[in-house]
Amino acid sequence: MTDAGTNHVLTQAAAWLAQDPDAETRAELEMLLRDAEGGSEPALDELHSRFDTRLEFGTAGLRGRIEAGSARMNRVLVAQAAAGIASYLLEREPDATPSVVIGYDGRRNSRVFATDTAELMAGAGIRAILLPRLLPTPVLAFAVRHLDVSAGIMVTASHNPPADNGYKVYLGGEDLGSQIVSPSDAEIQAHILRVAASANVLELPRSDGYEVAGEDVVDAYVDATVAGIPVHPVDLNVVYTAMHGVGWETFSRVAQKAGLTLPHSVAEQQEPDPAFPTVAFPNPEEPGALDLAYALAREHGAELIVANDPDADRLSIAIPDVNRPEGYRQLSGNEVGALLGWRAAVLNAEQETPGGVLACSIVSSPALAAVAREYDLDFVETLTGFKWVSRVPGLIFGYEEALGYLVNPNTVRDKDGISAAIDFLAMTAFFKTQNLTIERVLDAFAEKFGYFASDQLSLRVTNLSDIADIMAYLRAEPPTTLGGITVEGIDDLRDGSDDLPPTDALRFRLADGSRVMARPSGTEPKIKFYLDVSRPNDRRDEASCVLTAVKEDLARIAKTATA
């Protein structure tokens, strides 16, 4: 480590400290600086971790731990982001007064970050509207279109660890309330960097002249969600968990207005709590996250478990399964996506609506394409990230395997765990009138479209260079077989295609129709492999064997690449 490098990071940290309005992060940075200046190598390493890089807009916006530093989430970084976005909006709409609606969830500092943003937007001459209280992300996404504003900002880290927070940005107008994509993300980032390089955030103009939206915005979301989903009035025995997030109040209002039986709520997880005390990781996909929901479901003999993540933009479903110790089986995102996509196609056909598009991300199951073919609908694959799915023209349903679903694109242009939950409950109620369980409906799907099996191999790394090494190895020495099946073709998506912008991903097409996607995670230090195998329903057991064999080969390849 050079003296120049040490002096640079110490200078950066001192400059950051001088403009930090937050007593807590200021105190921790003062301690780190003092220790580093006193010769502490761990303190100096920590400063480099916090200041050598900067949070940038990724797959799902800005996300990071709440700590001091440019590579963390804090009031300085949020102020720079808000001022940069304000500058971008003023440049984008030079002949008008831009407007922005700001929402926030129940995570630590969410309201503080949202209020800072509102004050800085108002201080920059932008009409700023703060949502009335902590609310789900889908309500903010809805408000962008409902209020016809230039942009929306949601303060949330979704299902990230408790120590994190984040910042999602949506655009109105031609973007129809979708999250930002290229080139807007790079343009916004350039404005933010200019602010960071030239301004002390304590000197940025602020104003308390922002508006606070009324409850009518939430009422409008509830009404619009119910209006878009046909519901059969059948009693359902359901358990719901909000995962210590903000979903319960809005979800329960929508369910009641739709005429659905109000679920049994997991009381310990019903109210927002930024500490997430009952889960190790507030993500329905993580082991143990649904344990309390399973217990309550067993107590009531529930026929369905519905789980939202903390900001309620994702949905997880579990169904009874006597063969499992929990008594329930959590459906995969692909299984839920296939059923909701099938339902959307059927409803579209019943309405005699010509055309329409089903869409999913490139790492999601090909099952949705089979539904589209059967119902004479178009099918589109997008890059990973719901900001791409939501932008597909003519969309009637879209999803990605990471528990994100869009069932009402005329209302919201983002994944919406509340409307998706209501739609799944409505579907369950309909099938109950036909004496069909969800398990039986999954069998019916396989009988009609074929059996689609999916799995993942997710490899977490401590050295980020391992990810690049694995991708480079796969490109330089691609496998000729996987799981004993010939690799017929490889698509390198790094250079883009007619249908997709460039992305660091590889698609391996196997001779039996199976598919493997390899890509670095956009939010974690992981490389992920997505495996999809299809078989006729009477040969479904083969699919599990193929998945196991392919996973074993991929694990060996990754180990070789990093040896």
Catalogue the active-site residues: 158
Q: What does DSSP assign to residue 239? A: E
Q: Which residues are bridge partners to 486 per DSSP? A: 481
3-state secondary structure of 509: strand
Q: CB within 8 A of 265, min separation 6: which ones?
A: 239, 240, 241, 242, 248, 252
Best CA proximity match to 274, nearest among 130, 410, 111: 111
The closest of 73, 165, 157, 78 to 116, measured between CA atoms, is 78
User: What is the torsion angle, in degrees rounded to the nearest 10, for the CA atoms of residue 438, residue 439, residue 440 and residue 442?
Assistant: 90
- Residue 279 amino acid letter: V
Interior CA angle at 302 toward 296 and 305, to 5°? 75
Q: Is the dihedral of CA 83, 84, 86, 90 positive or negative?
A: positive
- Nearest CA-CA partner of 506 in 494, 522, 524, 521: 494
- Tell whether the torsion through CA atoms of 319, 321, 326 and 332 is positive or negative: negative
Q: How far apart are CA 508 and CA 499, in angstroms?
A: 17
Beta bridge partners of 329: 319
Beta bridge partners of 178: 171
Whole-number Å distance between alpha carbons of 551 and 554: 5
Dihedral (CA of 197, 28, 39, 51) sign: negative
Measured distance CA(398)–CA(148) in Å, rounded: 23
396 backbone dihedrals φ, ψ, rounded to 5°: -115, -20
Contacts of 538 by beta carbon, 8 Å cutoff, 6+ apart: none
Q: Around 286, how many Cα atoms within 13 Å sit in the side-chain half-sphere?
A: 14
At residue 146's C-alpha, the angle toward residues 167 and 339, to 5°, is: 75
- Cα–chain-centroid distance for residue 459? 19
